[in-house]
Amino acid sequence: MKEELLHYFWRTHRWRDQNIFTTDGQPLQIIVPGDLNKDAGPDFSNAKIRIGDELWIGNIEIHVKASEWYLHQHQYDPQYKTVILHVVWSEDQQVYFDSNRKIPCFELKNIISKDIIDNYERLMNSAFWIACEKQVDKIDMQKAAFGLNAKLIEKLQDKTTLLEHIYSKTNGDWNETFHRFLARGFGLNVNGTAFELLAEKLPLELIRKYTNDTEKLEALVFGIAGFLNNASEDYAVKLKGIFESLPKNNLPEILPEGVFKFFRARPSNFPTIRIAQWIKLISDHDLLLSEVVSMSHPDEFINFICRPLNGFWQNHFTFSAPSNGFPTQAGKEFAKLLLINSVAPFLFFYGKKLGNIELQQTATDWLDEIKGEKNTIIKKFQELGFPTSTAAQTQGLLHLKKKYCECKLCLECPFGAQIFRS
């Protein structure tokens, strides 16, 4: 028996339809199980219970064996003086406050069904891709979307930490925060940090000085990104010449070599072509953030991104690699990823900071309206029968896998709860 399972039983209050008693035979009613405490001190706080005729409000301590109270030396810790109930799997020893008053005890071993414990053991001992892989038939997939929506919100909340960091570095400048966060999206997983660094060095104010001259803007951006240091190809040499002629007084330092990675990337994901697409987007839209916020459908954003490039980047992936007829403009799949990884989390954060629920809703609505991404994790969930049609669902699943399945937090998972109940 594990204590975390007892926490789950207490939290979910699974015996609510039974007449329950303390080990002294007093009728027990659990009115509010309390809030889980992850810091030092009793396990649940602010619980409300009735023992006999008396109402108690206070803390709950949970152990597998009652004797752990003494083992953990709670008798010397003042934080435990407010415990109103000791919840244990087995009361192997009676436990007293130092006043010799017995702490009321609630024993679980005779009221929890063996099936539930067996289900839990099966999940915890499972070596499958996800622990519940062989029990997915117990999950009501019609209702799965609700559970996944909660995981999507958690994922969006997680991203607010990074956004909060960027927001504070820009001194609360929303346009600049969006500029840096969107740039990060252009770099995808491999070059996300490099793109964010580049956008940090090239604030919108500096970029705007060159948006009416594409070659100057490209010289500035590729120069600061470090791609012109050893220029040998014609167009790179040309941009290098322009870069060196730019006024030096307010130019940032060039990023060190090796910040951008080409390794194992497909040509369409090379950082050079992504930078060219990024430059096009910024130079085409002076008021990018307000344009995005005023969009009524995610397709508008996708069409925004998938615009053909001009000049040299029309038919090159790098300064030396021609595209040989392959399109160099951002594709719909990439635009969708930008929307999923950058735009939706930003709108969610923006709405949260401004107290604007509609903006937060737009973030989740847009993810509901576009198709889910395809990758090996999503394919596996799809084979198991989980819903994967929308980006909201696939994002929820990716969060579930990383934060719950991989840590075997099945007790915290809405699908785990269904399996326990079965």
Q: Which residues bind ligand SF4 (CB under 6 A)?
A: 123, 130-132, 400, 404-405, 409-410, 413, 415-416, 419
For 90-139, give the DSSP string: E--S--B-TTSPBPPEEE-TTTS-HHHHHHHHHHHH--SSSTTGGGGGGS
User: How near is the Cβ of 153 to ligand SF4 at its closest, in Å?
Assistant: 16
User: How near is the Cβ of 417 to ligand SF4 at its closest, in Å?
Assistant: 8
Choose between 123 and 219: whose C-beta lies nearer to ligand SF4: 123
Choose between 284 and 406: whose C-beta lies nearer to ligand SF4: 406
User: How near is the Cβ of 400 to ligand SF4 at its closest, in Å?
Assistant: 6
- Alpha-carbon distances, residue 368 vs 143, 176, 297, 303, 344 (angstroms): 16, 27, 11, 18, 11
User: How near is the Cβ of 4 to ligand SF4 at its closest, in Å?
Assistant: 13
Q: Which residues of 386-401 are buried (b: 16+ CB within 10 A; e: fewer)?
A: bbbebbbbbbbbbbbb
Distance CA 122, CA 120 (A): 5
User: How near is the Cβ of 7 to ligand SF4 at its closest, in Å?
Assistant: 16
**Residue 342: count of CB within 10 angstroms of its CB:** 21
Distance CA 289, CA 343 (A): 10
Distance CA 170, CA 165 (A): 9
Choose between 136 and 363: whose C-beta lies nearer to ligand SF4: 136
Choose between 216 and 401: whose C-beta lies nearer to ligand SF4: 401
Sequence letter at residue 198 = L
- Length of the chain in residues, anyone? 422
User: How near is the Cβ of 348 to ligand SF4 at its closest, in Å?
Assistant: 23
Helix (H, G, I), strand (E, B) or coil at 359: helix
Choose between 139 and 279: whose C-beta lies nearer to ligand SF4: 139
Choose between 123 and 335: whose C-beta lies nearer to ligand SF4: 123
